[in-house]
Amino acid sequence: MTIVRRSTSPDRRWVLVIPLLVLIVVAVAGLVRQRYADPSAAPAVTASAPVEHPAAPAAEPPVAQVRTDPVRLVGPVPTRGAGRFGYAVGRGKVLGYAGPVRRFSVAAERGSGEDVQAFAAAVEETLGDARSWIGDREQRFQRVGGAERADFTIFLATRETAGLMCADGGVDIRAGAKPYTSCRTTGRVIINLDRWRLSAAPYVFAKVPLTTYRQYVINHEVGHELGRGHQGCPRKGAAAPVMVQQTLSLRGCAPYAWPRKGNRPYAGPSL
């Protein structure tokens, strides 16, 4: 009977392979540690993104300017409202330096989509500017609530309502077949919502901000309330006097929103 003895020692092949595997693992681990210990070797997503894609603040101001002071507003404008008005509440401060105080109320047509308090604030800011009529030191203004006695009222009305209100006072504001301009009738300054939101062709063509046109139309129509008539352009290329019908034509002048210029009254030839 032959006895076969089993060897208890491992296969010689594994004796050679295992140390080799250990060396490979150690080498790979060393390369990984070396790569990520150096920040410049980190993945591009984390290390290079701020450098390759920096913020561009220089591109922001023009965008913001377009949004806050455009030449005209986008979107549809209501052509007809309820025919009834909501009045700005409260009483404003006295605007001006000398002369009798003319009290006015402010109203916006219901269904126009306009906030009457915001409209009142724009009116007061314009009439309270030293370049406006108070600079003459011949009159002052003060806004009062709708229930108080007022010398005149400034209305913001849709074009159809403005057309009816102006016609009722003997003023035709149509251009073509549509009510286009604003107007003043006895005790009423009527601002056409189309012009308040869309400006007018001469101002749009000259790329004048809508805020400036709004200042012009308030000063122009209140000028009529103060007894001023329409005027012409003093000379080609000059600033247009505020009583020029700038909504329709500049008559060779450049857009200008105020009745005073260079700290003195500014006017053109009477028409």
Per-residue pLDDT reduced to its tens digit, 18-49? 545 545 544 544 543 444 444 344 334 333 33
pLDDT confidence bin for 13, thresholds 50/70/90: low
Tell me how crowded residue 137 is: count the other CB atoms within 10 A of its CB. 11
Q: How many whole angstroms separate alpha carbon 25 and alpha carbon 48?
A: 30
CB 179 within 8 A of CB 79: no
Supply 87's token pair. Answer: 């009045």
The residue among 212, 191, 68, 219 whose CA lies nearest residue 130 is 219
Q: How many whole angstroms separate alpha carbon 136 and alpha carbon 10?
A: 113
CB 246 within 8 A of CB 216: yes
DSSP the chain: -PPPPPP-SPPHHHHHHHHHHHHHHHHHHHHHHHHHHSGGGS-HHHHTHHHHS---GGGHHHHHHHHHS-SS--S---S---S-EEE--S-PPPBSSSSPEEEEEEEEETTS---HHHHHHHHHHHHTSTTSGGGGSS-EEEE--TTS--SEEEEEE-HHHHHHHHHHTT---EETTEE-S-EEETTEEEEEHHHHHH--HHHHHTT--HHHHHHHHHHHHHHHHTT---B--SSTTSBPPTTS-TTT--TTSB----SEETTEE----B-
Over 70: is that where the pLDDT of 3 sits? no
Q: What is the tens place of the pLDDT at every residue in 106-153?
A: 999 999 999 999 999 999 999 999 999 999 999 999 999 999 999 999
The residue among 171, 92, 155, 79 whose CA lies nearest residue 119 is 155
- Pairing of β 183-185 and β 188-192: antiparallel
Over 50: is that where the pLDDT of 232 sits? yes
Q: What percent of the chain has pLDDT above 70?
A: 75
At residue 154, the pLDDT reads 99
Domains of the chain: 85-265 (3.40.390)
Q: How many whole angstroms separate alpha carbon 9 and alpha carbon 112?
A: 99
Mean pLDDT of the chain: 84
User: 201: burial class by Cβ within 10 Å (0-12, 13-18, 19+)?
Assistant: middle
pTM score of the predicted model? 0.76
Nearest-5° angle of CA 226, CA 232, CA 235?
Answer: 130
